[in-house]
Structure 1
Amino acid sequence: MRCLLSAYLLPLILHSCTGADWCYQTQVSCDSHCKGPDQWSKVNADCGKNRQSPINIVTKKTKLDERLTPFKFTGYQSVFDSTMKNNGHSVQVSIPITATVSGGNLEETYKAVQFHLHWGTDGGPGSEHTIDGEQYPMELHIVHMKQRYNRLEDALRDPSGVAVLGFFYEESSSSNRKYDLFTHGLRSIQNTNGNTTLRKVSLNQLIPPESNMTNYYRYDGSLTTPGCTEAVVWTVFENPIPLDREQLRAFSTLKFHDGKPMVGTFRPVQPRNGRVVYRSSSAAIAASAVLILASICAAFGLSRPN
């Protein structure tokens, strides 16, 4: 019963509006009474602390960490049915099976509880994290908590009690058939509290192959909605997930509780405040290759006759 209660409470706490006060910037208007991201600290004081998420990851300032080895995923390949819901701030899917992640210098094994997304407007910029100032169209968050905890309240009191895996999306010229059932399901949850059953889905089909998940960044941060609890170990993967324009635009057909289009569902990047962002060794190799190529190109350009 405790496990079931924690699984039920996690989405509520992650997206708790603490008196229905908070909203995204796209919802703020002269006649609205909600508080946009710049005022979230008035909704919950934790939103004004010094270890907030998301952040802009400046790749040249990241620090190589050889301990950031490939992850071990268990249960990610298991197929399940679940409820997909418009919770008034995002689309969210609970994870009713045992799926865990370990390795990658995580302290312990973490169990997956739910996933949700953040997006822009009609496929425009909308990710929460940015890379060197670049904002992707959308971002997936798979939320985990330490396996040893039965209650989310305990996990949130642990500075590393929650682990979130973040994945970017990019626009592709062809559709991603693995997302067909997911995007079709959005039609049934247009309004707040709308829900439908998402059938025969696995976490593996939503994310890149494991071979494409060795390049990633790591830092200590927070939940990206009130209460902004600073208890999250963030892993942000480099390689984006492809969706075509229509698949990306499908998310903008959802509606907030006031009936307005659910667009711009991201928190602006927060100050890093001296935190170190670490990169995996694979990310370092990729970054080095890019720098070497850029240097060669620059040298070639400089050596050409006018």
Structure 2
Amino acid sequence: MQQLILCVLLASFWTSCTGAGAPEKWDHAFKECAGKYQSPINIVTRKTLKDERLTPIKFKNYQQIFRSTIKNNGHSVQVGVPHLSTISGGGLQGIYKAVQFHLHWGNNGGPGSEHTIDGEQYPMELHIVHMKSHYTDLTTALRDPEGIAVLGFFYEKSNSANRKYEAIINTVRNVKATNSNTSLPAISLAQLIPSEQNLTSYYRYKGSLTTPGCAEAVVWTVFEKPIPLSMDQLGAFSDLQFHDGKQMMGNFRPVQPLNGRQVFRSGGAMILASSALLMAAISMALGLSHPN
């Protein structure tokens, strides 16, 4: 059990980590992967419900510089985080401390995020994993229905490189082989994510880990503002290798049924469908719509 939890929370890929095969077979090997509250999901913005409790999240020590190791575990890249950075507020029940971060991506900048927004899949997704501050181990935190809080961030293609990511991208290029690792230059969690004024728009729902055993113990916060990376930066992740030596691509779980869950949005989150209707109405008012 301890090995499985470590495997899951260090972003391990399903096939070699658990022997469970492809995602559609997980429910045969892990009962909870067939649960009703699984992740990731497709967030349909027009069906989200505004929640006034979803105020801006309080980030503490996210600016703290730390040194760590980046590792290719054969399934993803992972970076352990000192338990100094915390999140609170924003409807979270208590304080959560950062444990690690990892990523999910597609093929050389192609669709690769785990969550989708109105059916749109982004090139990559960052997960910063936290557990409730009073827990000392992940095993205990996973027994709590809200023991884990994960912040999810999308990436988008940019015409220029993101300089804040240069240190990480350069080290990613040095861990192509499975089980290889290298020291990561001093970074902070703050430099990985959008500025705080761009973090007021997000979605919230209760779900699960996205790898076996799929424990339904996660409070998910998925931010609307994507992080820009150039195609060259995005492509660096696809140069990594799985355990079998094949190109590391598509290490994401497909979206899961919502099963009646309500997805909430903060006050700043947009309803994209309504925005599109508004633009159409403006176009018609200005006489810019195409004739039938």
TM-score by length of 1: 0.89
CA displacement at 1:293 relative to structure 2: 3.0
Distance 1:289 1:172, change over 3 A: same
1:126 aligns with 2:112: yes
In the other structure, the counterpart of 1:27 is none
In the other structure, the counterpart of 1:265 is 251
Distance 1:286 1:126, change over 3 A: closer
1:141 aligns with 2:127: yes
Q: Quick one: distance in 2 between partners of 1:285 and 1:53? A: 21
In the other structure, the counterpart of 1:167 is 153
CA displacement at 1:276 relative to structure 2: 0.3
Distance 1:191 1:277, change over 3 A: same
In the other structure, the counterpart of 1:113 is 99
Query: Aligned residues, how many?
Result: 290
Q: Which amino acid aligns with 1:293?
A: M
In the other structure, the counterpart of 1:53 is 39
Q: Quick one: distance in 2 between partners of 1:206 and 1:303? A: 41
Q: Which runs of 5+ in 2 are unaligned?
A: none
CA displacement at 1:40 relative to structure 2: 1.0
CA displacement at 1:305 relative to structure 2: 6.9
In the other structure, the counterpart of 2:233 is 247
Which of these residues, 197, 218, 224, is aligned with residue 211 of structure 1?
197
CA displacement at 1:296 relative to structure 2: 1.6
More off after superposition, 85-94 vs 164-173: 85-94
Q: Quick one: distance in 2 between partners of 1:224 and 1:234? A: 11
In the other structure, the counterpart of 1:236 is 222
Relative to total residues, which structure has the larger helix share, 1 or 2?
A: 1
Distance 1:174 1:204, change over 3 A: same
Q: Quick one: distance in 2 between partners of 1:21 and 1:96? A: 24
In the other structure, the counterpart of 1:3 is none
Matched position secondary structure for 1:188: coil
Deviations 1:245-278 (A, max 9, x none): 0000000000000000000011000000010000
More off after superposition, 163-172 vs 183-192: 183-192
Q: Which amino acid aligns with 1:230?
A: E
In the other structure, the counterpart of 1:26 is none
Partners of 2:74 and 2:179 within 8 A in 1: yes
CA displacement at 1:75 relative to structure 2: 0.8
- Alignment root-mean-square deviation, CA: 2.3
CA displacement at 1:294 relative to structure 2: 3.6
Q: Quick one: distance in 2 between partners of 1:93 and 1:9? A: 18
Distance 1:21 1:83, change over 3 A: closer
In the other structure, the counterpart of 1:12 is 7
In the other structure, the counterpart of 1:83 is 69
In the other structure, the counterpart of 1:38 is 24
In the other structure, the counterpart of 1:196 is 182
1:183 aligns with 2:178: no
Matched position secondary structure for 1:84: strand
Q: Quick one: distance in 1 between partners of 2:173 and 2:14? A: 28
Q: Which runs of 5+ in 1 are unaligned?
A: 1-5, 24-33
In the other structure, the counterpart of 2:79 is 93
Partners of 1:64 and 1:280 within 8 A in 2: yes
TM-score by length of 2: 0.93
